[in-house]
Structure 1
Amino acid sequence: MSSRPRRSNLLSFHRPTLHLERAPIPVLKPESKQCLQTLLHYRPPKQRVNYPKSRSAAVLVALFVGRYGDLYVLLSRRASTLRTYAGDTSLPGGKWEPRDRNLEQTARREAFEEIGLPIDNRKVPLLCILEPFIAGSPGQLIVTPVVVLVLDKTIKPILNTPEVASLFSHPLAALLHSEPPFATEQEMLELKYHTHHDVDWRGRGKVRMHRFLTGREAGGTKPIFGFTAGVLIRVATIGYGREPDFDVYTPDQPSQEERIAFELQVNPILREACRTEGIDPDKAPEPSSLRTARRSDGPRGHRRRAVRSKL
């Protein structure tokens, strides 16, 4: 009999049972309704890379319907006193803990602790769970986005002030556009709403980092950028079923799955966590073997748009 610890599936979650027709949503634009329906039916591709629970984390992408039927996402401004990423614009989330049954519960627990969002899946039902992202510097965490819909409009935020300075929202569809969804303030006229820069990733290709203004920069709020921007672009692309009006990826950008597989080969923290949990990191797929496979998060969109341009 094997003495290795039994691994539970952190990506298991209850099937969403939300029926939009019966949900307490007073106004919902057709585009917003289609977005929610698409997210409800989304299932991430089966992951081919095993990674340790102790290096797993989750973020909550909490959507809600605005006054005129558009979808917005809740974002927080991290406290300026935090040791890491102080003052950054972020999504609620954190590391998996042994008391969490799965990563959905991790994301919900962290959102409750940070901003007081109820864990009750009747008030905040699940829409879908996305494929994992690599995060941290260097990539020491594998982070899974959990997408939910806030139905209860009576919920009042309760901020954990040592961690969260403020809470605000941003239109989800605006993550697909290079032009701002808000009137630009005079002092912000010279700044572009969307910008990006490409960084070398371990000598294996360039990774594109995106940045979106929030319209609150004059008050000290930082733009949406990096990991948070990447997650929200992915959610918006899936939900609205179209590519952004800018190039999301560089031509040689490795997918998230490739990057996770490579980190398991070279990152000592991940490798040690794997061995502790009975996972052989040397049995992870070669990153190059994942490059030609069907992608859900990488340059597939770049290639798809390139093909369209030839038609």
Structure 2
Amino acid sequence: MAFRQRRSDLLKFHRPKLVLPTGTQAELSATLKPESRQCIKNLAAYTPPKQRSRIPKSRSAAVLIALFVGRKGDLYVVLSRRASTLRTYAGDTSLPGGRWEPSDRTLEWTARREAYEEIGLPVDRQRVPLLCTLQPFLAGNQLVVTPIVVLVLDNTIQPLLNSSEVTSLFSHPLVSFLSKEPPFPLELETLELKYHTYVDIDWKALNGKVRMHRFQTGREAGGTKPIFGLTAFSAQY
């Protein structure tokens, strides 16, 4: 039987209230820095602008911006290093995500499914609640990508990497995507590299220029690529 929802149900599905599991609210309040707490509130209250035109599902994709709280109360973004054997974006630093599939109920489901397949993040709205859906943007491959932001509450979750797609998993401070200063000590191999750089490129689809950011991960000496392209664009949202 096909899965169908009324319009009112869809509205609640895409913009649910952030209901945290019992005991989690008090635990977060004791752990989070004030700026991290405000960031979560802002994300949970965000509503993307209404789209003027319908986007074909065949051209849709989603990425998952999975946040978690560090030991000192800061928010971090989960990132991965793509396998070197992949046909596209081999070895790049990326967010979990991929194309919409006919079995996906929503783009949130697309992002969660891909994260489960790539890094083993459970498709569980209690342990990993939705914060918001950000405004979609056009990627270089002509896919319309929607970033989905979630908060990982369960710190006992163990990643399970799909070795055919992901080589390693690491994190980066969320606030550092708004800074020009590196969040990590500089290594000898990276002393001459700026932590943050950008370039403005012509984007024919938008009849204008798009600013593309690039951030060092602090792991370049070990072969990890900087955060750039679609991943940097999504995280800087």
* TM-score in terms of structure 1 length: 0.69
SS at 2:225 equivalent: coil
Match of 1:132 in 2: 136
Task: Answer yes or no: is the 8 Å Cα contact 2:131–2:149 preserved in 1.
Answer: yes
From the superposition, tell whether residues 23 and 158 of structure 1 become closer, same or farther in structure 2 (CA, over 3 Å).
farther
Deviation of the 1:14 alpha carbon: 5.1
Task: Answer yes or no: is the 8 Å Cα contact 2:20–2:126 preserved in 1.
Answer: no
Q: CA RMSD in A?
A: 2.0
> 2:179 aligned to 177, 183, 189, which one?
177
The C-alpha deviation readout for 1:249-284, integer Å capped at 9, x for no partner, is: xxxxxxxxxxxxxxxxxxxxxxxxxxxxxxxxxxxx
How do 1:81-230 residues align onto structure 2 when only pairs under 5 Å count?
81-137=85-141, 139=142, 141-202=143-204, 204-230=207-233
Alpha-carbon distance between aligned partners in 2 of 1:106 and 1:211, rounded to the nearest angstrom = 26
> 2:46 aligned to 39, 42, 45, which one?
42
Show structure 1 runs of 4+ deviating over 6 A. Answer: 8-11
Amino acid aligned to 2:154: D
Deviation of the 1:71 alpha carbon: 0.2
Amino acid aligned to 1:39: L
Task: Answer yes or no: is the 8 Å Cα contact 1:73–1:169 preserved in 2.
Answer: yes
Structure of greater Rg: 1
Alpha-carbon distance between aligned partners in 2 of 1:135 and 1:205, rounded to the nearest angstrom = 14
Amino acid aligned to 2:193: L
Structure 2 unpaired stretches of 5+: none
The answer to whether residue 66 in structure 2 is matched with residue 62 in structure 1 is yes
SS at 1:198 equivalent: strand
Amino acid aligned to 2:33: K
Deviation of the 1:16 alpha carbon: 3.2
Structure 1 unpaired stretches of 5+: 1-5, 235-311
Amino acid aligned to 1:207: V
How many residues were matched structurally?
226
Percent identity of equivalent pairs: 67
